[in-house]
Amino acid sequence: MSDPSAVPGVPLSDLDYDAAEETAVLRVLRSKWLSTGPEVKQFEAEVAALLGVQHAVAVANGTAALHLALLALGIGPGDEVIQPAINFVAAANVTRATGATPVLADIVGLAEPVLDPAEVERRITPRTRAVVVMHYGGYATRLVEIARLCRARGLALVEDACHAIGGRAGGGADAPMAGSLGHLSCFSFFSNKNLAIGEGGMVTTDRDDLLAAVTRLRSHGMTSLSWERHRGHASSYDVVVNGYNYRMDDLRAALGRAQLAKLARNNDRRRALVAAYRARLREVPGVILPFAEADIAASACHLMTLVAPGAAAREAIAEALRAHGIQSSRHYPCITGFSAFAEMAENSLPHSLEFAARTLTLPLFPTMTMDQLDRVCDAVAAALRQTLAA
């Protein structure tokens, strides 16, 4: 038997970087302008065009995007913001940072770990101001339904589209893009995302008033940017609101533009890999594949997750993958499981708690080979056979 440690490992994610990113960085270095400037403006325009929205504002990261979105809507003390209990903690953290209360709602189920519209409606109170809908793994399967609910109830809709750039809310080329239906929508360009620049994010909107608010808040509440003053378009500035340093710099924007040019190709590659995963794993006993019935072509396919028969089986699979040099992760622990949110543990979130206990994230990245995918699937199947036979 060959030693699995002698075979190069399979990372959870990996970058598709080449001469295009090198050229982009050199272009900025040679321009001698590194901070927010022309590359940022062009990146914003290109993202807005992709999504079919009026405005895009580049920011420091996805968390900053979510914070700015809530602030631009005037969310504050006494307000409630409904959001999924299965999500990265950023949305809950920034809700608290505004002084508002995050109201955690359950997911649809183990096979569809996105915010349940019925749960949203059940948790609306007179203090509810907004709903944050998160497109888990790149699947915006309930976006249209929740957008309709928010319109009917007079609530602001914030899309947490950090997993979903290039995805759509439903099948077909005419389906709305993820990130195009919210009053404000938020994206992350962290190193493991479909469009990866290390740190970075974007806020999109069709409303001029929300654009103005986000733009001011992004840069200390100032009325002009350093780039505008550098070019002589402004000689001074006023500070009109308490703001933040949430700007993106031109280096990251240039990387973003290079990555954006590859996005369609890389998302298609992710879709092909997810289809192969589904074909290999659908016959493995006891495994649930989230979104197995969803249209792959509509998804950005950011994550490939499985739901194991139980928590012990999940750990057995993770250990088997580690033994073969294969990385895995969890997306995500339930928010109520964190110490900072322990007082919310009494919330009724049965699907979220079960999903968090049983889910495992497998490697998925555009440069992944089918040989690597086969190694992952072989290890998963072998671990489950051994666990179920015990």
Residue keyed to tokens 């203090």: 127
DSSP 195: S
Residue keyed to tokens 């059940």: 122
DSSP 170: S
Whether the CB-CB separation of 180 and 204 falls below 8 Å is answered with yes
Q: Where are the beta strands (DSSP E) in the chain?
A: 55-59, 80-84, 101-105, 107-109, 112-115, 128-134, 156-160, 184-188, 201-205, 304-307, 359-362
Is 41 among the catalytic positions? no
Distance of alpha carbon 151 from alpha carbon 145, whole angstroms: 10
Residue keyed to tokens 């077909």: 172
Structure tokens at 143: 């976006």
Cβ neighbour number for residue 15 with a 10 Å cutoff: 16
CA distances from 150 to 29, 185, 201, 221, 223 (A): 45, 14, 24, 29, 32
Distance of alpha carbon 312 from alpha carbon 55, whole angstroms: 47
Catalytic residue among 32, 41, 193, 262: 193
Q: Residues with catalytic annotation? A: 193
